Amino acid sequence: MSYVPPHKRPSNEPVRPSPVPESVSRKFTRNLNLDGGRNDQDRKVIVARDWISKWLFVGSDGTEDEISPSVKLVPVSSDSYEWRAGRKPLMLVNNDAGDKDEKIGATEGRTPWLSVAEKAVGDIFMAFELAKNGKGHGSLVEVKPRLVARFGKVLLHGHPSLSLESLKDGLVAESTLRESKKSFYTNVSSSYMENIRDTALLKLGCSIKESDVYFVFLSAETRPYSFISCKCTVKEDRRLTLRRVEVDALRNGVVDVSCLDQNIDLRLMVYSKRIPTALTENEISDIRKLVDSAVVDPNVKGGLRWPLGEASSGGRYSVSHVWHLTNTVYRSSTFRLKVREADRFDFRVGTGEAAREVILVLKGISQKLEGDDEVERSSVSDMLKDALKMIWDHFLSADPYLM
């Protein structure tokens, strides 16, 4: 029986949480906090030392220095975004976007992507240099930096001035917005996913590959906030086969772009895939033991469970969280587009999430920047402008974003 993610199951099919390993359950009980916490979307991210972070907002004319009075802050829908402590995240909405046909006519000939490229290319260069110099990596891993584009919504939260009382008019000082904590919500609507599949890709044209993979994340007893990720596929006997082992992906730089005249926001991110090169035979044996003992079960969140007592390896590793990803991958010579449905479960806190996500790997730019040869910024800038124009044409002009 093939796996069916939670958001595609019939309503009468039971969805039971995965059993929490005993050691994790005790830790969860000790650390339970009913007054606040993070949404799963804001799970801990490992960032490089001196990592780069920038936020831009862009209208039809390009990046803007001031937010237009027509742009308001509104809380996200309570039906589609979970939060704790009762505080809703907020997003920017342009109330004066106008009729779609009028908007197209007004923006014809204008190039907001050129402005974004000019402001982002320097940060992308610096982030790749940061990755290649190995800051924060250590000497026991192979580093593979990548530039990707993510699609969703920039959310603002955490600043005292961003209360619902102060938002009656939707106006907040720009300085307050810039000081606010931000996250990027990547769970997109089904209509957006269908638009990407049926429209954009028909115009772009590329080869297609489908895959069904599981990621098992292991935490080390000596490093509870550092993870080893195990990419796995399923054998005919419904057991996992270990395909690849990595350590924490390291975020080197992020440029978030609030697209005020579009329904979708953009994140440009440089991150480093890190492959360990010095695992001992005992470490590899313990990792394989945990992967081999996993049971594929479509009725639990994350799609995997472990028999009682087999979710840890006797003091070295324990299962932290799992992902089940159903991917459709589209490839061309310059990019790789991944449209995926994700089913995740976190054993540490006993919660899960299902999400639809779109990831565009800017393969051509990544290959140019990760090499050892000197690269002219102008050539990378031209490639980035072309990539952003394609993104504006095919990834941001979509159905309204549903929160």
- C-alpha span between 264 and 276 (Å, rounded): 36
Within a domain: 16: yes
Q: Report pLDDT for 243.
A: 95
Contacts of 214 (CB under 8 A, 6+ apart): 231, 232, 233, 234, 240, 294, 296, 303, 304, 322, 323, 324, 325
- Domain span at residue 135 reads 6-394
Within a domain: 106: yes
Residue 25: CATH number of its domain: 3.20.100.10
Within a domain: 390: yes
Within a domain: 401: no
Give tens-digit pLDDT for 98-136. 544 444 444 444 589 999 999 999 999 999 998 888 744
Q: Would you give the distance in Å from CA 263 to the centre of its chain?
A: 18
Within a domain: 133: yes
Within a domain: 402: no
Q: Report pLDDT for 363.
A: 95
**Tokens 């799609």 correspond to what residue?**
303
Integer CA distances (angstroms), 288 to 29, 230, 237, 266, in order: 29, 9, 17, 38
Within a domain: 1: no
* In the predicted structure, residue 21 carries a pLDDT above the cut 50: no
Q: DSSP characters for 294-353? A: -EE-TTBGGGEE--TT-SB-SSSEEEEEEEEEEEEEEE-SS-EEEEEEEEEEETTTTEEE
By C-alpha distance, which of 275, 241, 293, 259 is closest to 395? Answer: 259
* In the predicted structure, residue 12 carries a pLDDT above the cut 50: no
The percentage of residues in the chain with a pLDDT greater than 70, rounded to a whole number, is 72
Provide mean pLDDT across the span 332-346.
Answer: 94
- C-alpha span between 254 and 47 (Å, rounded): 10
Q: Report pLDDT for 171.
A: 55
Within a domain: 32: yes
Neighbours of 104 (CB within 10 A): 12
Q: Report strand pairing: 240-259 vs 47-59.
A: parallel
Q: Report pLDDT for 18.
A: 41
Provide mean pLDDT across the span 343-354.
Answer: 92
Provide mean pLDDT across the span 373-389.
Answer: 90
Task: Provide the domain count of the chain.
Answer: 1
